[in-house]
Amino acid sequence: MNTIEKFDSNIMGTYGRYPLVMEKGSHEIAADERGREYIDFGSGIGTNSLGYCNEKWVNAVCGQAKTLQHTSNYYYTKVQADFAEELNKITGYSAVFFGNSGAEANECAIKLARKYSFDKYGRGRHNIVTLENSFHGRTLSTLSATGQEVFHNYFFPFVEGFRYAKANDTEDLKAKLDDTVCAVMIEYIQGEGGVVPLNKDFVDSVFELCGEKDILVIADEVQTGVGRTGKFLAGDHFGHKANITTLAKGIAGGLPMGACLCDEQCRDVLGKGTHGSTFGGNPVCCAGGLAVLNFIKSGDHLKQVTEKGNYLRDKLLGISEIDKVDGMGLMLGASLKTKKAQGVVAEALEKGLLMLTAKEKLRFLPPLTITYEEIDKGIAILEGILK
Ligand SMILES: *Cc1c(COP(=O)(O)O)cnc(C)c1O
């Protein structure tokens, strides 16, 4: 049996996979079992933020694995304290809870928002407004939070207490913010929904309307956070700071880690025994996360993300098959005039380029460390396909 046959006969078929067995990687280049190399414009799904096996990251992770790979959250560890301190410093938040994924970070945010409201106002103010076309995860409550009907299937009953407002429609949002609502949850740029940024005016009114009624704003920055858009948080582009921000994907350079950050008024809401995770804040993952934060702090890497993003965007707009490009920094989505994104990605794979789609768009989430030469090489491959 080859790897793919063995894999498929032993693992649930929950993913549509490409026929590629990934074996190793170095910097921004991945290699498969047959030794074929690929320029990586996807970095997992925006996860390998420093590329493959970045030296400082490897040293931090391996060093921690050799010292202490896990301890229960009944005890303290220095590496979790160091990582949390850096994260709070860089974002300006007061406190963090660590889980292991984006969905878990959002679960924490949902629980926090409901308890904040319960503690202050009692029962009945439990509804959370999310946006149509959003994506917040695959657990039952984050599926319920996801504002796309295709996700609301099979697994009934879903979790109650979510309602959906139209993105960029202030009137619709206003109509949904009655006195049963404790939070509004947004992605500044809807990632899985097709790389769709929110309008500045709409984001302004989310914060204004919520501020008036003591409704918390939750920013799901699982995809947009940790430097992806050229600022540490995408909220920085909009000049707003949510009460709660969730991070995952690129936060630990490819290790499972989710973070739910909150401001001063929320920091004591989840007290002893109200939330937890066996693996949450795992020392090896925290060491990986700390290496990512140290990278971002050293030098002008965020500025470079913006510059490389602009460079990539200009190159994409130079391809006649590409209609328009949305997104910020190194989170871009390109609409095609005639071709299907899925087919383009399959063809790119055969020519040595890894790419993603988001709805009907080509999606670009390269490692933050990608070089101009690699962008050029990848674009040359893409240009050949789109000709
Ligand atoms: C990927 C993603 C999630 C889910 O993250 P997992 O780590 O897969 O649980 C949630 N929200 C957004 C915006 C995402 O992009």
Kindly list the domain boundaries of the chain, sorted by start residue. Answer: 3-54+300-386, 68-297
**Angstrom distance (rounded) from CA 55 to CA 60:** 9
- The tokens for 17 are 């996979």
- Amino acid identity of residue 155, one-letter, is F
Q: Which atom of ligand 1 is nearest to the CA of 249?
A: 7
To the query of whether residue 315 is one of the catalytic residues in this protein, the response is no
Overall fold of domain 68-297:
Aspartate Aminotransferase; domain 2 (3.40.640)
To the query of whether residue 135 is one of the catalytic residues in this protein, the response is: yes
Single-letter amino acid, residue 294: N
Query: How many whole angstroms from 251 Cα to the centroid of ligand 1?
Result: 12
Contacts of 16 (CB under 8 A, 6+ apart): none
What string of DSSP letters covers 37-89? EEEESSHHHHT-TT-BS-HHHHHHHHHHHHH-S---TTS--HHHHHHHHHHHH
| Count of Cβ atoms closer than 10 Å to residue 28 Cβ | 26
> Do the domains spanning 3-54+300-386 and 68-297 agree at the CATH topology level?
no
Q: Which of 41, 83, 97, 135 is catalytic?
A: 135
Classify domain 3-54+300-386 by CATH number: 3.90.1150.10
Q: What is the DSSP string of 181-245?
A: EEEEEE-SEETTTTSEEPPHHHHHHHHHHHHHTTPEEEEE-TTTTTTTTSSSSTHHHHT---SEE
Q: What is the pLDDT along the chain (387 residues), one digit of tens a residue?
A: 999 999 999 999 999 999 999 999 999 999 999 999 999 999 999 999 999 999 999 999 999 999 999 999 999 999 999 999 999 999 999 999 999 999 999 999 999 999 999 999 999 999 999 999 999 999 999 999 999 999 999 999 999 999 999 999 999 999 999 999 999 999 999 999 999 999 999 999 999 999 999 999 999 999 999 999 999 999 999 999 999 999 999 999 999 999 999 999 999 999 999 999 999 999 999 999 999 999 999 999 999 999 999 999 999 999 999 999 999 999 999 999 999 999 999 999 999 999 999 999 999 999 999 999 999 999 999 999 999
Relative to the CA of 104, which ligand 1 atom is closest? Answer: 9
Residue 101 CB less than 6 A away from ligand 1? yes
262 within 8 A of 95, measured Cβ to Cβ: yes
Q: Could you tell me which of 281, 230, 223 has the C-alpha nearest to residue 248?
A: 223
CA of 192 to the centre of ligand 1 (A): 9
Residue type, 200: K
Cα angle 359, 8, 6; round to 5: 145
Q: How many other CB atoms are found less than 10 A from the CB of residue 104?
A: 25
Index of the ligand 1 atom closest to the CA of residue 187: 13
For ligand 1, whether the C-beta of 194 sits within 6 Å is no
What pTM did the predictor assign?
Answer: 0.98
102 Cβ closer than 6 Å to some ligand 1 atom: yes
Q: Is position 297 annotated as part of the catalytic site?
A: no
Pocket of ligand 1 contains residue 103 by CB under 6 Å: yes
* CA gap 278, 25 in Å, rounded: 30
Q: Give the Cα separation of 17 and 39 in Å (integer).
A: 18
What separation in Å is there between the alpha carbon of 186 and the centre of ligand 1?
13
* CB-count exposure of residue 223 (10 Å: 0-12, 13-18, 19+): buried
Between CA 260 and CA 244 the distance in angstroms is 7
Cβ 222 under 6 angstroms from ligand 1: yes
DSSP state for residue 182 in the 8-state scheme: E
Per the structure block, which two tokens stand in for 175? 């109509």
Task: Give the H/E segment covering residue 332.
Answer: strand 331-336
pLDDT number for residue 313: 98
Between CA 296 and CA 81 the distance in angstroms is 18
| CA nearest to 232, candidates 243, 221, 216, 219 | 221
